[in-house]
Structure 1
Amino acid sequence: FVYDVELQLAGIRDNAFSFVTMQPTSEYLSLFDEFRRQLYLWLGSGLLVLLILLWLGLTWGFRTLKRVSAELDQVEGGQRQHLSDEHPRELLRLTRSLNRLLDSERRQREQYRNSLGDLAHSLKTPLSVLQGVGETLAAQTQSREQAQVMQAQIERMSQQIGYQLQRASLGKSGLVRHRVELKPLLLSLCSTLDKVYRDKHVQVEMQLAEPCLVPMEQGALMELLGNLLENAYRLCLQQVRISASHHEGDLLLGVEDDGPGVPVGQRERIIRRGERLDGQHPGQGIGLAVVKDILDSYGGELSLAESALGGAAFRIRLQAD
């Protein structure tokens, strides 16, 4: 650094003086480097403190949201009925609104089921009366044919009413997510069917993943598997196979038998409501339609293929989550 000053003394015209001062830059550069180091140090320390404060604030803030999320998971799993009030004031309005929604959904579902039960009870008596009248008419020779037609239609009405009630009551419920252990339910159904078809001595083979929880209400799952297993027991020769496995996040269920099977051209038709290939047994062919309706309400899929046992293989795909 150079600083030059020109000086001319009074009274001396020809002489002038120049004062020059110089300072090396090393001192300035050392001061600049020290200032830069101090600046980086303080800025880095300040940034670290701000990040720590931000992390603490977010952790404290999201802790409450995690608690709300955990309580919602418990509500979906059926472990609790409501969300607690042990939350910050800012979230109480949200949790209370969710509690009101849960209460409303639960009351509507209960009222719906009670109404369906009342409907079934109110229709049962008139159908029983008509059935009795039909039996009385059947005893008379001149009206026996008309009585048989009436009894057949009454039976059809009874089965269709039962189907509609099952279809309405076994759908997926709103916010609550159910998980049912598969093996105990299968053992119970197979024990009942073994008594019904005890003369066939059906051998049941189970190939189940462990653990195997089905994302469905117990009543709906029992109705679904009951229809499939009843078909398998009724049509099999002696062997039934039940399988359950996980694949790409989905739950795969299978019910197979060693019976006559279903022709390829008829597989789509029998899943439709009212279609039957077995004309030797009573029924209106609504069992598989009930199965399909239940699966539709849970976002599942039903398919029919040929089993390695030689008979039919019903395949079910359900989203595990």
Structure 2
Amino acid sequence: MSLRVRFALVASLVLVLALSLVGVALDTANQRSAVTGLRDRMESYVYQVLAAIDVSESGSVIAGGDLGDPRLNQPGSGVYVHVHGVDDHWSSPSSLGLRVPELQSMAPGESVFRIPSQNRPYFAFQYGVGWQLESEEVRRFTVSVLIDPGELERQTAAFRRGLWRTLALAGVILLLAQVATIYLAFRPLQAVARDVARVESGDAPALDGAYPAELEPLARNVNRLLATEKANQERYRNALDSLAHSLKTPLAVLRAGLETREQAAAAPLRKAVEEMNRLVTTRLQRAAVSARRTMGRPEPVEPVVRRIIASLEKVHSRKMIQAEVIIDADAMFCGEERDLMELMGNLLDNAFKYGARRVRLTARSIPCEGGRPGLAVRVEDDGPGIDPVQWPLLLERGVRGDERVDGHGLGLAIVLELVTAYGGSVDIGHSELGGAKISVDLPGT
């Protein structure tokens, strides 16, 4: 995955976890706060009821005042008060039809708060009081307040819905802000990637964009590397040209000196000089391959192949060879044009030499994710073919498949050296046309 996707996934995961923890923490705090507030409200009901009742000398509870909360007078309201003593008890009008659970007595001044359970489906608050009569006798009573938990559940459910809606909205806003931040943060990297692609395709000589301070060292070092590579290539080519020029004169002197000698005596030396001249030329060309630039404009394959075939058809006009060319429109050679010409020239020259009437060349692009595509080339003929035993031998320098055909046996060896320099491979096999098939695969970069 790209850095942008990785960063977005990690940041989104952290955002979801953080908002979830915040939501759970707020919901728990609200639940505790609601229970605490309910307890305080239930305790206030105790004082309201104590202010509204009286106790007779016989110990009977008399309710004569305002209970303070209309729900205490409304049956089934969910708020219930029960006062019980040793000889008498009293329940608020809201308890009408309610089966009051068994309640324990409390000592004066003691209080207890209980949450709902399986045996007691109500919030309960009990408070013990001692009521002194005119006869100075003290009667003990327990005031019990019961509240239906549905009230608290509705309150917390409403808070929970509002909380998660708010957190969801905050999450969307933070997610949009995160996307914008990632876009702005990675935009310079996209610019660098585009500029590197332009350099790689040969459309630009160097990275010339305006980059943030963090990326400036990278751009500067890449440009320095490109400049060094170009300078080394120029120096290497100049050295090769100088070497070739230096060797031409001694070889010309040797050739001229051999002309003055007797024909029979000079023949072996002349052949050695020609072989030396050919070897020097070949080695200089091969050495030049290693000096190719790693980043350059890709060369289209089809125009080069067409030019080579046009030349070979003239050279081998007597054979009337029919050349079939099948090349993908996007087939490109990521390298020097002279290397492409030498590669195709050697492959097609062998096919024209050994083919009888037909030669077929196919070339297709090899996709390379995140880089420049490779190239697959197949050259086939309808000649006599090649014995499988000879396949590995033909890739050696100086070995020919048919001694009756003119040549030095260097074509496939040169192809192998060239393809190896580009990190590719060469294979020999049988063609559907009846002759040989040479397969070249150049990987993407």
Asked if Structure 1 and Structure 2 have the same fold, meaning a TM-score greater than 0.5 normalized by the shorter chain, the answer is: yes
Tell me which moved more, 223-232 or 21-30: 21-30
Aligned twin of 1:308: 432
CA distance in 1, matches of 2:432, 2:305: 21
Per-residue CA deviation, residues 243-298 of structure 1 (Å, 9 max, x unaligned), is: 22357866431222233332221121011122223434665422211110111122
1:22 maps to which of 145, 149, 153: 145
CA distance in 1, matches of 2:367, 2:165: 51
Which structure features the higher share of helix residues?
Answer: 1
CA distance in 1, matches of 2:244, 2:293: 24
Is 1:230 equivalent to 2:320 in the alignment? no
Is 1:158 equivalent to 2:281 in the alignment? no
Aligned twin of 2:411: 287
**In structure 1, what residue type is equivalent to 2:223?**
N
CA distance in 2, matches of 1:189, 1:30: 87
CA distance in 2, matches of 1:202, 1:46: 75
Q: How many pairs align?
A: 316
Is 1:265 equivalent to 2:389 in the alignment? yes
Is 1:176 equivalent to 2:295 in the alignment? yes
**In structure 1, what residue type is equivalent to 2:416?**
K
TM-score, normalising length from structure 2? Answer: 0.65
Aligned twin of 2:363: 244
CA distance in 2, matches of 1:171, 1:186: 23
TM-score, normalising length from structure 1? Answer: 0.88
2:334 maps to which of 215, 220, 225: 215
CA gap 1:172/1:14 in 2 versus in 1, 3 angstroms: farther
Unaligned residue ranges in structure 1 (runs of 5+): none
CA RMSD of aligned residues (A): 2.5
> Which structure 1 residue ranges, 4+ long, deviate > 6 Å from structure 2?
10-13
Deviation at 1:80, TM superposition (A): 0.6
CA distance in 2, matches of 1:172, 1:36: 71
CA contact (8 A) 2:294 2:335 kept: no
CA distance in 2, matches of 1:10, 1:109: 117
**In structure 2, what residue type is equivalent to 1:242?**
L
Deviation at 1:220, TM superposition (A): 0.8
Aligned twin of 2:206: 82
Bigger Rg, which one: 2
Q: Aligned ranges for residues 25-40 of structure 1 at < 5 Å?
A: 25-40=149-164
CA distance in 1, matches of 2:367, 2:330: 16
Unaligned residue ranges in structure 2 (runs of 5+): 1-123, 369-373
CA gap 1:12/1:66 in 2 versus in 1, 3 angstroms: farther
Is 1:190 equivalent to 2:309 in the alignment? yes
Is 1:105 equivalent to 2:229 in the alignment? yes
CA gap 1:111/1:233 in 2 versus in 1, 3 angstroms: same
CA distance in 1, matches of 2:391, 2:126: 103
CA gap 1:211/1:175 in 2 versus in 1, 3 angstroms: closer
